[in-house]
Every structure is written in C-alpha cells, then in structure tokens.
Amino acid sequence: MTDFLVLITVSIVIAATPMLFAAVGELVAERSGVLNLGVEGMMLIGAVVGFGVTMSTGSAILGIGSAALAGAALALVFAVLVLTLMANQVATGLALTIFGIGLSALIGAGFVGMPIAGLPKLDIPVLSTLPIIGPLLFQYDAMVYLSIALTVAVGWFLKYTHAGMVLRAVGESAESAHSIGHPVIGVRYLATMFGGAMAGLGGAFLSLSVTPMWAENMTSGRGWIALALVVFGSWRPGRVLLGAYIFGGVTILQLHAQGSGSTVGLPSQVFTMLPYLATIAVLTIISAGPWRGRFQAPACLGQSFRPSV
C-alpha cells in the first residue's frame, strides 16, 4: 500500500512539472503586464526542439538548453508584435499557439516514433536508497528539482530584489513606471522571453522525461492549464506551485480512475475531462466570490503601452 502511495505521489510530481515550468514563466510575463496566450505553442516548440537536439547530439543538457532558447525565441516574436508593433495581446497569443502547433509538427515530422533514452534519474548515495523517503524525494531527474528551484528563485526575485519590484511596478501601472523613468518596454521584453524559455523547458520535460518521445500536439492542453494556474495561484509563485501539484493530482487520478473505470461505471471521457473541469470550476470560484478582491490581477495586464514622446 505504501509503495502504491509513493508511486502515485511520484507520478503526480512528474505530471505537474511541465505545467509548473510553464506557469511560473507565464506568471513572470503577466506580472510585467504581458498576457501571452501562446504558452501551448511555446511548450510544443520546446518539446520538439528539446527532443530533436537531444536525439541528434546525444546530450540532454544541450537539448534542454536549446528548448529554452527556442521557447524564448518564439516569445521574442510575440514580444516584437505586441510590445513594439502594439498588436493586440490576446489575438497575437492565440495566433502564436496555432503557429507553434503547426511549426512543431513540421519540425518534428521526422522524429515521430523515434526512440530516445529518458533523462537519468538522480542517484544520490544513501539518500536515494532510503525506503519511502528515497523514491519520494530523491529519485527524480534533475529537471524536477530545477522546476522547484526556479519557482523559489522567481518568488524570491519578485519579492526581495529591486529588479523584481520594478517588474511588478511595470505590470501595475506602465504609465507611472514610465513617468518615474523605468524602461517599461525593455522590462516587458525580458519578462516575456523568460516566460517563453520556461514554457520551452516545460515542453522539453514532456518530450525528454514524462514520455521520452515526440508526438504531434503532445502537450494536449497543458499550456492552457498553465495559463489557468497563474490565475488559480493569483499571480504568486507559491500558490502556483501548490496549484500545479493539485492539477497534477487530478490528472493522475483521472488515469487511475480510468484504469479501474468499470467499477465507477462512467465513460472514460468523463475522467479525461476532469483536469479541465477542475480548471473551469476553480477559475469561476476565484473570479465570482466576495474574496475576488484578494486575487487581483496586475492592473495593466494585457494592455499595450505606448510611451508619449
């Protein structure tokens, strides 16, 4: 029984990690006032580039790095469109997702069905071999730890550093930040590209670790859940981390419920819907109740800013 619980917990953490990467990246972009709905597209690009580079070079580190760069590059395209050319953020973000789906399928056409060795699990002497604690905490691959470390780092950055404060200020009021003399557009470029890099990492984790393979549209909506997680976490890294693991839990629950589906007597599609239903339910509750004031979005989220000359 304990083994089973450990197994479930481990699978929840792994299911949550791609969403955690993407959500924390998107959180940074949104705190600077940029709403990038292209997360799904950037994750796919990260997944295919990470897979392709790892396969052709044999270096997972190179693959992961390239995935982050590819995500950031796609985010840069988005940033040029919405920050420099003042395109509408929502429409451009949606287009970016569609573009990412198509481009990743094109790049990955030759990779479908190719085998690859997954990322090596961590193997710390003593710790990893501990009963229960070992598999529970010390037997993941490096990216799982990286996702948690980056979440903590982002939280610390936003709360305790001057640069983080400027980033939040830019998202709160671009006008004010500009009139005090902070570089609004520059900050937003960097934040958007960081978001892209994180989405790329999330995608690479999918194609290198969760299921070491490439398949078209393999993110299957995780980018959208990551977007919802940012709202769920009310733009705070700690809550996003919690949210990611809850949603990872719902995903795994769904798989297991499907496995033993006959006992419940519901069609399997109902369980596949679960994570998405949970997303809708949570978003509705957050934005409707009397507590909504406490879940404030950055005031300038999604608005273009044109500095007066």
Partner 1 sequence: MTNDAAGAPPRLELRRITKRFPGVVANDGVSFSVQPGEIHALLGENGAGKSTLVKIIYGVLHADEGEVLWNGQAVTLANPHAARRIGVGMVFQHFSLFDGMSVLENIALGLEGKSDMRKLNDRIIEVSKAYGLPLDPRREIHTLSVGERQRVEIVRCLLQDPKLLIMDEPTSVLTPQEVERLFGTLRQLSAEGCSILYISHKLQEIKDLCHHATILRGGKVVGECDPATESTRGMAQMMIGAELKTLARRGARPRTATRFNVDNLSLATDQPFGINLKSIGFEVAAGEIFGIAGVAGNGQNELMRALSGELTVAQPSSIRLDGKPVGNLGVEPRRALGLCCVPEERNGHAAVPDMSLASNALISARNRMKLAVGGWIKHDATREFAERIIQEFGVKARGPESAARSLSGGNLQKYIVGREILQTPEVLVIAQPTWGVDAGAAAAIHQALFNLAQNGAGIVVVSQDLDELLTLCDRLAVLNVGSLSRAIDTADASMEEIGLLMGGLHGMSAEVPAVHGSAQNVA
Q: Shortest distance, CB of residue 181 to partner 1, whole angstroms?
A: 3
Q: Shortest distance, CB of residue 172 to partner 1, whole angstroms?
A: 4
Q: At what angle do helices 142-160 and 162-172 cross, to 10 degrees?
A: 80
Distances (CA, A) of 126 to 3, 131, 135: 19, 10, 12
Q: Shortest distance, CB of residue 305 to partner 1, whole angstroms?
A: 14
Nearer to partner 1, 277 or 299 (CB): 299
Q: Shortest distance, CB of residue 300 to partner 1, whole angstroms?
A: 10
**What are the backbone dihedrals phi and psi of residue 260, each rounded to the nearest 5 degrees, phi first?**
-105, 35
How far is Cα 183 from Cα 170, in angstroms, rounded to an integer? Answer: 8
Closest CA to 223 of 65, 53, 21, 74: 21
Nearer to partner 1, 37 or 177 (CB): 177
Nearer to partner 1, 173 or 217 (CB): 173
Nearer to partner 1, 131 or 289 (CB): 289
> How many Å from the N-terminal Cα to the C-terminal Cα in the chain?
67
- Coil, helix or strand at residue 57: helix
Residue with structure tokens 């029984």? 1
Give contact residues for partner 1 (rule: CB under 8 A): 162, 165-166, 168-169, 172-173, 175-182, 292-293, 296, 298-299, 308-309
Q: Shortest distance, CB of residue 301 to partner 1, whole angstroms?
A: 11
Nearer to partner 1, 267 or 307 (CB): 307
* Tokens, residue 158: 């936003």
- Please state, as a whole number, how many other Cβ atoms lie within 10 Å of the Cβ of residue 260: 8
Nearer to partner 1, 65 or 237 (CB): 237
Amino acid at 49: V
Q: Shortest distance, CB of residue 125 to partner 1, whole angstroms?
A: 42
